[in-house]
Amino acid sequence: MGKSASRTVMIIAGETSGDHHGARLVRAMMKKDDGLRFCGIGGEAMAREGVEIIVDAARLSVVGITEVFSRLPSVLRGASVIKRAVAERRPELVILIDFPDFNLHMARYIKRFAIPVLYYISPQVWAWRSGRIRQIKRYVDHMAVILPFESDFYRSHGVPVTFVGHPLLDHYPTLDEDPMEGPAGGKIVIGLLPGSRYSEIERNLPVMLAAASQIRQRREDVRFLVSKAPSIGSEFLGEFIRPYRMVLDIDLAPADITGVLARCTLVVAASGTVTLETALHGVPMVIVYRISPVSYMLGKALVKIDHIGLANIIAGKRVVPELIQEDATPAKIARTVLEMLDPDTLARVRRELGTVRSRLGEPGASEKTAAIALSMIRHDG
């Protein structure tokens, strides 16, 4: 496409998944207008696309309501650095990706400068803390949403919105329409996906490994893979795995998640974007999640939905089991996994996961969001 005078776009993505979605969005925007310059908060994926990383997203990422206090100094420093950059650089557009507590605070500040704000990947205001819709309506110019029911929600509140489809469909555009049948031959492979943040792993991986030990006592034909997110050090994960080396056939899998899922019959996954990736690959799963007791009690009082797993939310029913907080014990995880290893159960779950992909729209979320972003720049300019 044609090249224009250099213009600055700020993009703020505070987590690993947001970093990858942001990278694909930057790539799509640059294809349409290579005169853009990008800066903001992100990680390695955005940096590889040429984004000037002003604040490393890894310094800000945190899970849970109470856990945020441990990262508060870093979060406050990051907010201060970005505010200064907004005031000095005056970008033509700011794109916010997920990361709602930080990003809604930033949206309020950015609007002081009459800079248009595009929010890509909605906060889950339809699930909890619905009062944030007032902030969004006041400080966000357009929502680009990735779940089909979100557009009706925002439209009913008078917020400009476009359903762009899920960006994971851009990443996995060639998956077979039919659910996979699982790896052929050999041992049953169970993936342990403990999360992409250190705090998540500390809470989830120990119970996953203890469950794996109990599964192995009942089934000798199983082996285990522990998935390592790019943001996590191998030595950190190794400390958890080492005590189990003598009793389990277990490996650390630092490969891309697609490579991990291709090897798995079933996975035990911490709740998050990875559960949707797992669903798109047609791999049965058990969703587990543990956070601090106080965060859990506060969240339980505020959350208004029946499921926490994205696959279940999109399907509108409990397609895969969810074991949350006190239910996420080694014994319950092991029992649930053993029940799911029944061949008929695995086949049924794979079929039902196939419906999840069909509800997510068509590939092209990055392209559609890029077109919205560029129209906002041009309209403002």
Determine how β-strand 285-289 pairs with β-strand 117-120: unpaired
Work out whether the CA dihedral 326, 328, 332, 336 comes out positive or negative: positive
CA–CA separation, 239 vs 277, rounded Å? 27
CA–CA separation, 292 vs 267, rounded Å? 23
Is residue 24 within a helix (H) or strand (E), and if so which, with residue range? helix 16-32
Instruction: Return the pLDDT at 180.
Output: 47
Domain ranges of the chain: 7-172+363-380, 188-358
Instruction: Return the pLDDT at 38.
Output: 98
The helix/strand/coil state of 183 is coil
Q: Which CATH number fits domain 7-172+363-380: 3.40.50.720, 3.40.50.970, 3.40.50.1780, 3.40.50.2000?
A: 3.40.50.2000
Instruction: Return the pLDDT at 266.
Output: 97
Instruction: Return the pLDDT at 61.
Output: 62
Instruction: Return the pLDDT at 185.
Output: 55
Q: Which CATH number fits domain 188-358: 3.40.50.2000, 3.40.50.300, 3.40.50.2030, 3.40.50.720?
A: 3.40.50.2000
Instruction: Return the pLDDT at 290.
Output: 83
List the alpha helices (DSSP H) in the chain: 16-32, 44-48, 68-89, 100-110, 132-139, 150-156, 168-171, 198-218, 234-241, 257-262, 273-280, 293-302, 310-315, 330-340, 343-358, 365-380
**Comparing 7-172+363-380 with 188-358, is the CATH topology the same?**
yes
Instruction: Return the pLDDT at 67.
Output: 45
| Structure-block tokens of residue 223 | 């082996």
Residues composing the chain: 381
Instruction: Return the pLDDT at 183.
Output: 53
User: Could you report how far apart the first and last alpha carbons of the chain are, in Å?
Assistant: 18
Give yes or no for a contact between 124 and 146, defined as CB atoms under 8 angstroms apart.
Answer: no
Burial 341-361 (b: 16+ CB within 10 A, else e): beeeebeebbebbbbbbeebb
**Strand-pair partners of 11:** 40, 95
Give the global pTM. 0.75
CA–CA separation, 71 vs 66, rounded Å? 10
Mean pLDDT by 10 residues, the chain (381 residues): 67 89 96 95 96 89 49 83 96 95 93 96 75 92 93 94 91 55 70 90 95 96 92 90 93 85 95 89 93 57 65 90 92 98 95 88 93 83 41
